[in-house]
Structure 1
Amino acid sequence: MLLESEPRAVLLLNVPACWGLQRSPTSLSAGVCNVDHQNKAGYTALMLAALASVEHEDDMNVVRRLFSMGNVNAKASQAGQTALMLAVSHGRQEMVEAVLACGADVNLQDEEGSTALMCACEHGRVETVRLLLAQPACDISIVDNDGNNAVAIALEAGHSNIAVLMYAHLNNSKAQSPVSNRRIFLFGPTHRNTGGAEEEAVVSAS
């Protein structure tokens, strides 16, 4: 079970409330909790908070405080996902913004080699993709364990609008870079065309 309550791990979230937040930062202020402690399912309080749907600014302030106190780049023991990846996959845009503001590494990969950007592309989250691309360190060229990068994943998921968005971002980056010949592989080094032959598929920024 994802949410297994342990006193020193689940600070603001509990099993009955599920994803809900309690507007009570007492535990954080007292400094009695280890915010990076993993529960039996392998998740920290930060990861669970990243899944929450927040309606009140007071709750969001508590979440920001929580994120600032722990390791936002810690990985869950089960699949190696970070708080950023979890927020992206569950469509929690406000959490994505908060985690990034606390120094989340946008290029970290889980056990399958996926990044937060790849996750956003797979789920068709355009605004999240825009936000991630706006991070100076965001690397579109990273590939997962299957050899696919974010552009390829967007295309395979049928989100051509996101692929175009990333291509435009690449062109804009190229215009500001001395590098004159950058290429982004769509399906890794090779993929099979309709005739069965292997061919190289790239988006060229040259």
Structure 2
Amino acid sequence: MAVTLSLADRLSSASANGNLPEVLLLLQSGASVNGRNIFKRTALQVVKLSSTAVVEALLDAEADPNLRDPVLGLTVTHDAAREGFADTVRALLAHGADVNLADERGNLPLHLAAKWGRVEAVRVLVGATADPLKANVDGHTAEQLALLTQNKHFKHFLSLMITNGHGQRTFF
């Protein structure tokens, strides 16, 4: 017996595959952009993060960039920052993504970008984050995570910081 997928499942599949024509067709056919698939995730939550055009199409159709993953409490901004898709982070920010939403461990998207050495994502996030020196539940700032993981790019992250006139480290 053939399985018939819901519009939400079909939209999620097209989104996960970065298939822009199929995403647009499904949206025009009435698929709810914030509809949940069989795994309780939206098309934006499963999007192929490197496909900024698909991300933008979903956001233009009013996908909610601040919905949390039902398992880990991450937003798509956390995912894009962790994986280093700076253009996707920019698109999310332009459509109202809140970079100050923390995951269940208190990590902002900035923490994840720093931890994984995603320099360009750090550059995008640093100015948009209300408190770039905020600590997560383990007491680590984004800078400390970069140092703790000793990611090969952590020196680049540190180069994004300057010392202000009061001897305090701050972002530029």
The change in CA–CA distance for 1:12 and 1:73 in structure 2 (over 3 A counts) is same
The change in CA–CA distance for 1:204 and 1:124 in structure 2 (over 3 A counts) is closer
Residue 26 of structure 2: aligned partner = 27
Q: List runs of 5+ in structure 2 lacking aligned partners.
A: none
Cα separation, 1, equivalents of 2:57 and 2:144: 36
Report if aligned partners of 2:11, 2:31 keep a CA contact under 8 Å in 1: no
Residue deviations 1:178-200 (CA, integer Å, cap 9, x gap): xx68x6xxxxxxxxxxxxxxxxx
Structure with bigger RCO (C-alpha 8 Å, 6+ apart): 2
Task: Provide runs of 4+ in structure 1 moved above 6 Å.
Answer: none
Q: Which has the higher helix share?
A: 2
Equivalent runs, 1:63-102 vs 2, <5 Å? 63-68=55-60, 69-102=62-95
Structure 1 residue 103 corresponds to structure 2 residue 96: yes
Q: List runs of 5+ in structure 1 lacking aligned partners.
A: 184-202
Structure 1 residue 153 corresponds to structure 2 residue 156: no
Residue 157 of structure 2: aligned partner = 162
TM-score by length of 1: 0.67
1:53 aligned to which of 28, 50, 54:
50
Aligned length: 163
Equivalent runs, 1:127-206 vs 2, <5 Å? 127-135=120-128, 137-158=129-150, 159-165=154-160, 167-168=161-162, 171=164
The change in CA–CA distance for 1:94 and 1:10 in structure 2 (over 3 A counts) is farther
Residue 117 of structure 1: aligned partner = 110
Cα separation, 2, equivalents of 1:18 and 1:106: 22
Cα separation, 1, equivalents of 2:27 and 2:82: 27
Structure 1 residue 204: deviation in Å? 8.2
Identity %: 29
SS in 1 for 2:33: coil
Report if aligned partners of 1:112, 1:144 keep a CA contact under 8 Å in 2: yes
Cα separation, 1, equivalents of 2:135 and 2:32: 34
The change in CA–CA distance for 1:63 and 1:164 in structure 2 (over 3 A counts) is closer
